Amino acid sequence: MRKLAAAAVLVLTAVLPVSCRPEAACPAIAQAPVVSLTVDREYAPSVRTIHLAACQDGRCKEADLELVPGSTAVDQGCEPGPYGGDGVCSATSSPDGTLTGMLMMETLSASRIEVTATGTDTAGNPLPARTAAFTPRSAHPFGEQCGTFITASVVLDAAGLRQAP
């Protein structure tokens, strides 16, 4: 009986520290359900307007996009930290020649989506209609316990419309 009691104490002692670990905190942020568009830098100088339509799960949304100049992040490095690791890090943005825009959806799921881009060139002539069908990307940037982030991004260039890498 004493051996059984000693074994029970050992098991409970081993289980208690494991069960009392604090759970990882999830950031209190939400993701906007958008389809993002990037007009490639070689194609951007010839584009005046873009109209984007997206259909997913039997629901469609479309709008003329507000196109804004795109940019890329430029790493400016990190200062050494007081205890050997990285301290303060910084970056800046630099124009990259692209144009970007977003289409706000009601919801965005992980199921297949079809996106069509139309618009006008700088002379006012219609651009060819381009369509891409793809499955949005799913990620867990803050861990599995914090939910799934779903992104639907496309790139438009002279060759057509495709899912962004």
Query: Residue 139 region, left (φ>0) first, then alpha (ψ -120 to 50), else beta?
Result: beta
Amino acid identity, position 8:
A
- Which residues form the domain of 123? 2-163
Model pLDDT for residues 40-77, shown as the tens digit of each residue: 999 999 999 999 999 999 999 999 999 999 999 999 98
The tokens describing 133, both together, are: 């069908």
Torsion on CA atoms 46, 65, 55, 151, rounded to nearest 10: 90
Q: What is the pLDDT of residue 22?
A: 55
Q: Is the pLDDT of residue 2 over 70?
A: no
Identify the CA nearest to 114 among candidates 130, 98, 138, 137: 130
Lookup result for tokens 């495709």:
162
Q: For the chain, what is the domain count?
A: 1
Q: How far is residue 160's CA from residue 154's CA, in Å, rounded to a whole number? A: 10
H-helix or E-strand spanning residue 36: strand 34-39
- Residue 164 burial (10 A CB sphere; 0-12, 13-18, 19+): middle
Q: What is the pLDDT of residue 36?
A: 97
Q: How far is residue 164's CA from residue 152's CA, in Å, rounded to a whole number? A: 8
Band (pLDDT 50/70/90 cuts) for residue 118 is very high
